[in-house]
A and B are shown apart, each in its own frame.
Chain A
Amino acid sequence: MRHETVNESPGPRAAGDAGGAAASTEPAYLRIDNLWKAFGEFLALKDVSLRIGRGEFVCFLGPSGCGKTTLLRAIAGLDPQSRGTIHQDGRDISALPASRRDYGIVFQSYALFPNLTIERNVAFGLENARRPRAEIRARVAELLALVGLSDQARKYPAQLSGGQQQRVALARAIAISPGLLLLDEPLSALDAKVRIHLRHEIKELQRKLGVTTIMVTHDQEEALSMADRIVVMNHGVIEQVGTPVEIYRHPASLFVADFVGETNKFASRSDAGTVRLGRRTLSMARDDFADGEPLTVAIRPEDVLPQSAGEAASGPNRLAVVIDDMEFLGAFWRTHLSGGDLGDETLIANFSMNAVRRLNLERGASLTIEIPVERVLAFPGEA
């Protein structure tokens, strides 16, 4: 089973060495080993192991119910795991109560204290450590400046916009300089514009502070744009760990291919390093399948390359198709292909504006497409 190989030893592509900040020579900052979580009969986490390097920004990505939040809450000590261990900075925190762990947390709901002003909210974690008042005040001012809310200090949370509130929550969480920053769907409650803006800001802040950060999200775009590495989860197991590019370009499983980005799927069978698509056979890079093994072929829409009118449809991995329909989506045309070599299958392709203009593509037109060998992804089993 594939997910097991992923979990037990990070596979060739999922290995930490490819990850941005995760230097393989340094011991992992956060080490999760064989974590299980049971809610009654239901297993929310199944034997999850993971390493996160110091200063890394990691996203837990997956559909709802995949276990990503459960994993985060186990790390935070809010809902302890049923089995397994967690080490943070070399310290075994598996059974430590939340209050003795070292992290700051930001929730989707912001969880700002409504009856305290912004500055009191930010100061909340600073106030009991017998710090001099002046020092606290200075620190709060510094934090508010950091998140760009210096002029809002005396206001109450309800007087702020959602994005501002989330920045306050962030300032509050990092006020105590935690070793680990946990973000639980921090942007989900915000509208699209604010979300994109804040993505950038959070990432900037994280980089500036160098704090190891884990963010839970179900939004692949968010994960791809922010994370150093992404942990894709499904049904309580890690499907793949990798940089955003790895995850996108080389999904380790059909689930990942399907969940991250868009993909065309075809049921097929392996035949000496080729698969059938419609009336043609496509070569693929992988050849570790037994002949006749049922496969699912996955092709991303942007990997379908339109050929100039003169190009022959007979070359390797080339197909003659007809344009069924085209939707204009701003940056590109979403094009529905069928007929010709596709037989009964249909294929969705994203063609750039330029290509469409250059090749004069329009509804009903015939054209030749090429799917590069290394972009023909195949996964065992039928979808």
Chain B
Amino acid sequence: MSADATVLPAGRPVKLGLDRDGLIKRLFMVLIALYLIVTLALPLYAMMSKSFSTYEFELQRYAFQVSDGEGNWGEPVTAAELNARLGLLDEADLASTSDGRLAATELFPDFNFRSPVRYRIRGTVEDAPYLVGLEYHNSREWQEFDSNTFRRINLRPVRSIGVQNYVEYFSTPSLVSSIRNSFFIASVSTVLTVGLAFGFAYAMNRSCMPFKGAFRLIALMPILVPSLLPGIALIYLFGNQGLLKSLMMGHSIYGPIGIIVGSVFFTFPHALIIISTALNISDQRQYEAAEALRTSKWRTFWTVTIPGARYGLVSAVFVTFTLVITDFGLPKVIGGQYNVLAVDIYKQVIGQQNFEMGAVVSVILLVPAVFAFMIDRMVQKKQVALLTARSVPYSPKPKRGFDMACLAWCSLIGLFIVGIIAICQFAALVRFWPYDLSLSLNNYAFNRMDGGGWSAYTNSIQLGLLTAFAGTVVIFIGAYMVEKVQGFAAGRSFFQFLAMLPMAVPGMVLGLAYIFFFNNPANPLHVIYGTMAILVISTITHFYTVGHLTAVTALKQIDGEFEPVATSLRQPFYRLFSRVTVPVCLPAILDISIYLFVNAMTTVSAVVFLYSTETNLASVAVLNMDDAGDIAPAAAMGMMIFYTNAAARLVHAFASRSLLARTQVWRTR
């Protein structure tokens, strides 16, 4: 057509005026984007910059003056000049940490504390801290000391900026070995989990074995407990006083074996859900075709089943890998001497108060997590494409031998899961393992232990409820704005990016980032530091993405033309939102809230840096009680979390059903 030659005339594009709806929507989107910026982007930025914050002894900040035996003072000289003259300390010696000290006598090789020589020291600039003994000095006035006191003088490092922390990290073998360990653990656990979960999912989808419902319930049980709990169970099963210690054949459960077994336990349901979904969408017709072509079962498996589930498998691999490599609770409990990245962060920050190094490890942990996340996102997109294709769902036919094999396989895994949880409950009820196996409730006397007592438990429930409520509101409204607002495309895709980001950020990293960002008096949001609010916010942010995706999926299923219709009927958007959108999405909304509740109850990683003494949490109490050696009470608290979550799930199922019955009559024809 000749019309191809025509060009848009110059001029400004027509922009529709903003009505009140548009304004409100934009305001909401900006607010929630701001929320994500403040609770995610800025803290991460603060953490990044902290990892480049170094400490070093700056010798030019100090000047010395030395007398001879008779009290005649020599020329003042700066420490830097002294060092340059004598060549005593090199760059590496001057690098330090926030708690570093440099003895002043290092600069005087012929120092003798018995000599009558006297010394003077002063700062050449405002900030030149040094210690006399342990007394803090920071002054530009000359201070005079005899030589016996002078040997007690230590220079203190000052803050500067550089890559020195990273250099230090990579030159410390014990730290670098954690990278290798983390990858090893994550890889092995991933292979095992995905293998086991695939078998389980295959049995559930492709066999006619009995008790499928029960197996499904059992398989999802690990989601309800903190990741530390399998660690505790493994101690009771395979520790030195473990029931099944002989099975270890002399190997220790404390270390890679324990971490891997525990990781398989807590990642199993996550992998299972993904793989099940993938197997579910396979097309019956492909199998019929294979059968018609007389393809062998084995070949069919490799040419039809595996390729059909490939996106699910890849996704399961990366999700499991990320879960394991970023998990902190389990290796903390059962890792023994086996260092991994996530525990290193904790050790650096809580153990050594070396926040800068904690930030460095966080940045390093962020790399594989972000990488795995990006691959998973790519794969997920393809999987969705596969899902939308029309297919006839597979319906298995009974085959006795195969069904029995499947039953055996699932029973083994089910036994493993139930066993882990049962042993915890048993250990929690035992008076004094292993010497007094009579039952008692002593281990539930949490108020007599470290970890915050029963208030930690009630705090956790409070956190769970607040997170479920506030989180669902924020996440759902945010998803609505992304999905259903007209125009403002740039803003929306930026928002979408922000909403996906939390999934790539390990909890430990988020928690540490929060310390740096919120625990800064210059930050007006500082007031929430140490309160329940920061726990709620961090938990919402940490689990934002899954909730967001759930909401977006539900919203996508709603006709995109509801908004234009409502607008043409001159109805404000919030009326459509409350009368139609929310009721229609109620199942998804309930799913998001139970997801947030359960995770708020079990999470340790982000909140371990953020809880305060008034806001102790049950999951953190499990960690701290284990840390203090009160393992049975830790198991008891872990089981409290389990029962609470199980009850919450029941209430959720019940509430969903009755709510749906009332509000979703329309679903039934």
Contacts and interface: CB of A to CB of B under 8 A. Distances in A.
Contacts of A104: 568-569
Contacts of B561: 107, 109, 111
B458 interface: no
A99 B579 contact: no
Contacts of B4: 235
B411 interface: no
A207 interface: no
A115 B666 contact: yes
Q: Interface majority SS on A: helix, strand, loop or mixed?
A: loop
Contacts of B486: 78-79
Contacts of A105: 564-565, 568
Instruction: Give the one of B9, B14, B17, B559 with max A CB within 10 A.
Output: B14
A105 B7 CA distance: 31
Contact of A124 (B22, B559, B571, B667): B571
A84 B14 contact: yes
A83 B8 contact: yes
A100 interface: yes
B17 A158 contact: no
A286 to B, nearest CB: 21
Nearest to A103: B568
A178 interface: yes
A97 interface: yes
Contacts of A46: 3, 6
A99 B19 contact: yes
A47 B569 contact: no
Contacts of A53: none
Contacts of A235: 1, 3-4
B367 interface: no
B562 A113 contact: yes
A379 interface: no
A101 B3 CA distance: 31
A220 interface: no
Interface string A27-50: 000000000101000010011000
Contact of B579 (A80, A97, A98, A116): A116
Contacts of A1: 2-3
Contacts of B664: 115
B11 interface: yes
A111 B568 CA distance: 12
B583 A115 contact: yes
Contacts of A103: 568
B397 interface: no
A98 B13 CA distance: 17
A38 B96 CA distance: 60
A96 B17 contact: yes
Contact of B16 (A97, A109, A111, A236): A97
Contact of B19 (A82, A83, A97, A176): A97
B16 A176 contact: no
B568 A173 contact: yes
Interface residues on chain B, size class:
35 or more
B101 to A, nearest CB: 63
Interface residues of A, number: 51
Contact of A82 (B6, B8, B21, B572): B8
A105 B8 CA distance: 29
Contact of A98 (B1, B14, B567, B665): B567
Given A109-B559, A173-B568, A235-B3, A38 B8 contact: yes
A61 interface: no
Interface string B625-669: 000000000000000000000000000000000000001111101
A86 to B, nearest CB: 9
A319 to B, nearest CB: 33
A99 B8 contact: no
Contact of B565 (A38, A82, A107, A115): A107
B581 to A, nearest CB: 9
A146 interface: no
Contact of A80 (B6, B14, B571, B584): B14
Given A76-B564, A99-B570, A128 B669 contact: no
B580 interface: yes
A46 B580 CA distance: 38
B14 A82 contact: yes
Interface in B1-49: 1-4, 6-9, 11, 13-22
Contacts of B17: 95-97, 100
A77 B21 CA distance: 14
A95 B486 CA distance: 15
Contacts of B570: 99, 125, 128, 176
A1 B565 CA distance: 39
A43 B14 contact: no
B575 interface: yes
A354 B665 CA distance: 57
Contacts of A77: 16
Interface string B188-226: 000000000000000000000000000000000000000
Given A96-B16, A173-B568, A114 B8 contact: no
A81 to B, nearest CB: 5
B395 to A, nearest CB: 26
B566 interface: yes
A36 B8 contact: yes
Contacts of A128: 570-572, 575
Contacts of B11: 83
A176 B567 CA distance: 12
Interface centre among B8, B19, B559, by most A CB within 10 Å?
Answer: B8
Contacts of A95: 14-17
A97 B17 CA distance: 5
B506 to A, nearest CB: 38
A76 B14 contact: no
Nearest to B558: A114
A97 B15 contact: no
B567 A99 contact: yes
Contacts of A323: none
A98 B9 contact: no
Contacts of A182: 568
Interface string B572-602: 1001000110011000000000000000000
A82 B6 CA distance: 14
Interface string A1-29: 10100000000000000000000000000
A156 B663 CA distance: 12
A115 B566 CA distance: 15
Interface centre among B568, B580, B664, by most chain A C-beta atoms within 10 angstroms, is: B568
A274 B667 CA distance: 66
A38 B1 CA distance: 17
A225 interface: no
Contacts of B665: 156
Interface string B430-449: 00000000000000000000
A178 to B, nearest CB: 7
Given A97-B19, A176-B569, A178-B568, A115 B580 contact: yes
A172 B6 contact: no
A175 B565 CA distance: 12
Contacts of B13: 38, 80, 82-83
Given A76-B564, A97-B17, 17 more contacts: A43-B7, A76-B568, A80-B13, A82-B14, A83-B8, A83-B14, A96-B16, A99-B21, A99-B567, A107-B564, A113-B584, A115-B664, A125-B570, A176-B569, A178-B568, A235-B3, A235-B4
15 contacts: A78-B564, A99-B570, A101-B568, A105-B564, A111-B564, A113-B579, A116-B579, A116-B580, A116-B666, A124-B566, A124-B571, A128-B575, A156-B665, A159-B666, A176-B569
Interface of A: 1, 3, 36, 38, 43, 46-47, 76-84, 94-101, 103-105, 107, 109, 111, 113-116, 124-125, 128, 156-159, 172-173, 175-176, 178, 182, 234-237
Shortest 7 CB-CB contacts between residues of A and residues of B:
A125-B569, A156-B666, A111-B561, A97-B19, A107-B561, A98-B567, A113-B580
